[in-house]
Amino acid sequence: MLCATRVWFWSTAALLMALSSCECDPEVVRLPGAIEGQACGEVSRVGIPNISVEVRGPVSKTVPTDGAGRFFAGALPEGSYTVVALLQDGSEQEVTLPNTPVDVGPDEVIPVIDTRCDGPPDVPDTGTIDGQICNRHTGELVSEATVLVIGANNDIIASGTTDTLGNFVLGDVPEGEHVVSIRAPNFSRSFPVTVVVGETTTLDLSAGGCAIPTTIGGAIVGSLCDPRGADGAKLAGATVRVHLIGSDAADDVLDVSDTAGEFYVGALLPGRYDVTVTSIAAGVNEVFADIEVVAGEEATIVGPDACADRTPVGRVQGQLCDLVNLGGLFTGTVTLHQGGTEKARTTTDAAGRFRFDIVATGTYELHLGEPAARIVSPVIVNAFQTTFIEEDTCPQPADICENFPHQPDVLSDGRILLVVDRSGSMNFTFGGQTSAQTKWEALKGVLSGVMSTLSTTVQYGLFVYPNPQSDGAAANCSAGVQRQAMGSTSSQINNALGEVNPAGGTPTATTMAEARAIVAGLAADDRPLAVVLATDGAPNCNLNETRPGVSACSTDNGTRVCQCTCTSNAVGQSDANCAIFNCLDDSNTSAAIADIAALGVQTHVIGIPDTGLPAGLQAIFQGSLNTMAVAGGAPLAGAIRYHNADNVTALQASLEAVTRRILACQITVPTSLDGATSVEVRLGDQPIPQDPSHRNGWDQTGPAGVQLFGNACDAATASLSTVTVRRCARP
C-alpha cells in the first residue's frame, strides 16, 4: 500500500517517487468534462440566485448558482447526466429536459439552459376594460383623467389615461371582481367591474349623450341619503329616472347615484318633470313629482322623504401644490375662511389630500399653512354637491447633488482572513522551472512582501490546513486550524507561517466550514472583510460515507476507500477504489465556500497549480478551482475564474490584485446614500455601471458604502483618474 500512501503529492516528482517505491502501473488519464448553464424560476422566468444545482450521472455533484442563476460543474467523468435545481422550499426542479439527459464527453463543456429562461413570466388569464368618461355635472367629456383598476388587496393592477374624447382602454387586466377609479380635476368616481377572460368590459359613462349644455337647457341634481344608516349616510347605486310630463316614457333619462349619493341629469328642456328614485337594497321607491326645470338653472332634489330634512350643506375636497417651497403637493394645515373668519380646519394626509364634509353654502377661501403660505379663492360651495379644488401636476424642487472623490489605493482600513494550503505538494517547485524554491517558500515570501506594503491599519487572520498540530496518518485529512486571530500584523502572520512545514492532504471543505464560524463573528463590522484562499490543487479528503446513487465506502487493509473522482493514477487508485486523501471533494468544498458568501463575505481564490502534472490532472484541478472561485462570489471573467499563480511572478501579481479588490475598491462616503433620488459612480468622466451581482461594476454595500467589483476595480486601481460617487437627493 506504499503507492496509496504517497500519491497525494500532486507533482511529477511525487508520482515518480511513489512509482519507484513499489510495482505500480499508471492508468490512462482521461480529460474530464463539465456542464455549465442557468436555472430559472417557473413563474419569474429569470435566474434563481444562491441555490444549489445537482448534476446526477456517473458521479453526483452539487454546485451553487451565482446572482444570475448561472452554475458550473467541472471534473465530470464521461457519461450521461441530468441536472436538477434544489429549490429553497426543499423541492426539486429539472433543468435538463424531462427524460433527456445530456452526454458529457472528455474535455467537453456542455451548456444546459433551463427552458424556463426562454420566455417572459407567465401572466394570469386576463380581459380588457374600456369606456368613455363624461362629467355629468358639466356635460363635458373628461380628458386626461387617471383611470386605475384596484384589486381585492387594494393593489393597483392596471392604469391608464383617457384621451381628448374621454376614451380609455386597459388591457391585460386579471379576471375577477375589481374597482375602477377615475380621477381628474373636479371629477372623481369609482365603479365595481367584473372582468371575464378574453372579453371586454365596457364602462360607458357617456351613454345617453354627453353634449355640452346649451342656454336653453336646465338640470336636475340631487343628493340622496340612505334611510337605513345614520344621519348623513349616502345612498349609492340608486336608479334615478327623469320623465318629462306628457312625453313618451321611451324618452326618459336615467342616471345612477354615485358613492357620494349624488346624481346629475343635464341638458333638459324647460318644463315639468317627475323624478323616480329606486333602490332595492335600501327599500326606496319614491317619486318626486312636478319638478320645474328652468333654462340655465338647476333644480335640486333631497331625498328620500325619510331624510329630506337634512341641512342643505356641501363639501370641499382637494389636493393642492406647495408653490412657496416648490416641494410638490402641499402637506400640513388647511383652513376654510369666509368673510375674514375661520370656519373649519383640517390636516392633509401624506399625499396632500384634504376634505371638509359639512360646509354651508356660500363663497370661501382656502388657507394653506399657518401662517398662510398660500390662499386659494374663490371656493364656491353649493348644496349637496362636492367642490373639487385640485392640482394634479406640481413643480418639484431641484435635487441637491454632492460629489465624493476617492483615489483607489491599498491604504484602506480592512481585514483579510488568509486560508493557506500547506499540503505536501506545496513542498515542490513550480512545474517546469529550474528554481529550487518551493511553492511554499514562494508563497511565504510573496505574502510577506505584499503585506509589508499595506498600512498598519490592515488586520489579518490566518488559517493553515491541514492542521499542523495533528500527528499520524489522520493529519492527512484533519481540518485546518486558526493560527492567528483576526487583528494580527503582517509580521505575526509571517512568524506563524515560518513555524509550519508542508505535509498532508487538502481538506479544503472542512477547513472552510471551520473558517465560516470565524467569519460569521466578524461580518457585522462595517470595515472591509474578505477571505483569501491560497491552494495548489483540487480539494480532496472526501470524508462522505455515502453520496446519492453511490455505494458506501469500503475498507481495504485498514485504509478506507470511496467511489469518487480520483486524483491519483497509481495502481489500486481508481474512481471505484480511491484512498480518501486522493478522493475529489468538489461539491462539499463549493458548498462550504458558498456558505461564507451567504454572509456577504467574498472568498478570493488563488490557485498555485503544478504545471508539471499530466494534462488530465491539470484539467481536474482547474475545474475545481473554477468551481471554488464561482462559489466564493468573486470569480474572474474568462475560462480561468480564479487568480492563476503558476509561477512566482504570477503569484506576486495575483496577491496584489486580490488585495486591491478587497481594500482599494471599498469606498465610504461621509453621508448616508439611503433615500437618495440617484447615486452614480464615475471613473474620471466615464460612468461605471451598477452591478448588483457583484461581478463587474459597482454596488451599494451599506448605508454609506460603495464597492467596485471585477474589471471595474481593476480599471480604477490602474488608472490615474479619480473615482467619484455622486449622490443626489431632494432637499
The enclosing domain of 145 has a CATH number of 2.60.40.10
d(CA 365, CA 177): 41
Residue 655, domain member (yes or no): yes
87, 118, 149: which is the final residue of a domain?
118
| Residues 540 and 593 reside in one and the same domain | yes
Higher pLDDT, 372 or 139: 372
Residue 400, domain member (yes or no): no
Quick check: 47 pLDDT over 80? yes
Q: Are strands 353-360 and 341-347 parallel, antiparallel or unpaired?
A: unpaired
C-alpha cell at 80: 450521461
- Give CA 48 to chain center in angstroms: 11
Quick check: 364 pLDDT over 90? yes
C-alpha cell at 147: 383611470
Phi, then psi, of 654 in degrees rounded to 5: -65, -45
| Residues 550 and 651 reside in one and the same domain | yes
For residues 541-551, average pLDDT = 52
Rg value, the chain, Cα: 38
| Residues 587 and 446 reside in one and the same domain | yes
Taking CB atoms within 8 Å and a gap of at least 24, the contacts of 328-334 are 328/352, 328/394, 328/395, 328/396, 328/397, 329/394, 330/368, 330/369, 330/374, 332/368, 332/369, 332/370, 333/368, 333/369, 333/370, 334/366, 334/367, 334/368
| Residues 414 and 556 reside in one and the same domain | yes
| Residues 231 and 373 reside in one and the same domain | no
Quick check: 470 pLDDT over 70? no
| Residues 645 and 553 reside in one and the same domain | yes
Q: What's the pLDDT band for 124 if we cut at 50, 70, 90?
A: low
623, 638, 664: which is the final residue of a domain?
664
d(CA 450, CA 579): 37
- Judge whether 493 and 451 are in contact, CB under 8 Å: yes
**pLDDT for 18:** 33
What burial letters (b/e) apply to 449-460, b meaning 16+ CB within 10 Å? ebbeebeeebbb
Nearest Cα neighbor of 535 from 493, 480, 573 is 480
Highest mean pLDDT among 3-12, 169-178, 409-418: 169-178
Quick check: 25 pLDDT over 50? no
C-alpha cell at 310: 337634512
CATH number at residue 608: 3.40.50.410
Higher pLDDT, 677 or 663: 677
Looking up cell 448558482 gives: 65
- Judge whether 32 and 77 are in contact, CB under 8 Å: yes
Nearest Cα neighbor of 79 from 99, 55, 98, 97 is 55
d(CA 267, CA 214): 7
- Whether omega for the bond prior to residue 106 falls within 30 degrees of 0, making it cis, is no
Q: What's the pLDDT tens digit per position in 227-241?
A: 877 656 778 778 889
**pLDDT for 11:** 33
d(CA 457, CA 270): 91
Higher pLDDT, 120 or 285: 285
Nearest Cα neighbor of 412 from 703, 665, 602, 655 is 665
| Residues 548 and 596 reside in one and the same domain | yes
Higher pLDDT, 436 or 37: 37
- Judge whether 480 and 467 are in contact, CB under 8 Å: yes
Quick check: 452 pLDDT over 80? no
Q: What 3 state SS string does 137-149 have?
A: CCCEECCCCEEEE
Residue 401, domain member (yes or no): no
Q: What's the pLDDT band for 649 if we cut at 50, 70, 90?
A: confident
Domain span at residue 271 reads 218-307
d(CA 518, CA 631): 18
| Residues 527 and 448 reside in one and the same domain | yes
Residue 394, domain member (yes or no): no
Nearest Cα neighbor of 613 from 109, 7, 3, 165 is 7
Q: What SS3 class is residue 272?
A: strand
d(CA 560, CA 544): 11
118, 135, 158: which is the final residue of a domain?
118
Q: What's the pLDDT band for 714 if we cut at 50, 70, 90?
A: confident
> Residue 445: exposed, middle, or buried by beta-carbon count in 10 A (0-12, 13-18, 19+)?
middle
Residue 390, domain member (yes or no): no
What burial letters (b/e) apply to 568-607, b meaning 16+ CB within 10 Å? bbbebbbbebbbbbbbbbbbbbbbbbbbbbeeebbbbbbb
Quick check: 727 pLDDT over 90? yes
C-alpha cell at 304: 328620500
| Residues 176 and 222 reside in one and the same domain | no
Average pLDDT of the chain, as a whole number = 79
Quick check: 160 pLDDT over 50? yes
**pLDDT for 3:** 33
d(CA 610, CA 438): 11
Q: What 3 state SS string does 482-520 have?
A: EEEEEEECHHHHHHHHHCCCCCCCCCHHHHHHHHHHHHH
What burial letters (b/e) apply to 46-73, b meaning 16+ CB within 10 Å? ebbeebbbbbbbbbebbbbbbeebbbbb
- Judge whether 581 and 541 are in contact, CB under 8 Å: yes
**pLDDT for 453:** 67
Nearest Cα neighbor of 412 from 532, 531, 528, 530 is 528
- Judge whether 415 and 521 are in contact, CB under 8 Å: no
Q: What's the pLDDT tens digit per position in 289-313?
A: 999 998 878 888 887 777 766 677 7
**pLDDT for 563:** 62
For residues 534-558, average pLDDT = 61
**Which residues are bridge partners to 167 per DSSP?**
132
For residues 637-641, average pLDDT = 82
Higher pLDDT, 657 or 272: 272
Tell me the pTM: 0.44
C-alpha cell at 673: 446614500
d(CA 66, CA 392): 44
C-alpha cell at 485: 486571530
Q: To the nearest whole percent, how much of the chain has pLDDT over 90?
A: 18
For residues 103-116, average pLDDT = 83
For residues 121-147, average pLDDT = 77
| Residues 432 and 496 reside in one and the same domain | yes
**pLDDT for 595:** 93
User: Helix count (H) and strand count (E) of the chain?
Assistant: 8, 47
> Residue 658: exposed, middle, or buried by beta-carbon count in 10 A (0-12, 13-18, 19+)?
buried
| Residues 560 and 594 reside in one and the same domain | yes
Looking up cell 490584485 gives: 657
Nearest Cα neighbor of 261 from 304, 223, 314, 303 is 223
Quick check: 162 pLDDT over 50? yes
Residue 674, domain member (yes or no): yes
Residue 391, domain member (yes or no): no
**pLDDT for 308:** 62
DSSP 547: B
**pLDDT for 203:** 80
How many structural domains is the chain composed of?
6
Q: What's the pLDDT tens digit per position in 681-706?
A: 999 889 999 988 777 889 998 888 88
Quick check: 120 pLDDT over 60? no
CATH number at residue 233: 2.60.40.1120
Q: What SS3 class is residue 523?
A: coil
| Residues 638 and 528 reside in one and the same domain | yes
For residues 260-270, average pLDDT = 79
Phi, then psi, of 3 in degrees rounded to 5: -60, -45
List CB contacts of 606: < 8 A, sequence separation 6 or more. 532, 533, 534, 535, 642, 643, 645, 651, 654, 655, 658
Looking up cell 440566485 gives: 49
d(CA 547, CA 564): 10
Residue 431, domain member (yes or no): yes
For residues 247-275, average pLDDT = 82
**pLDDT for 165:** 84
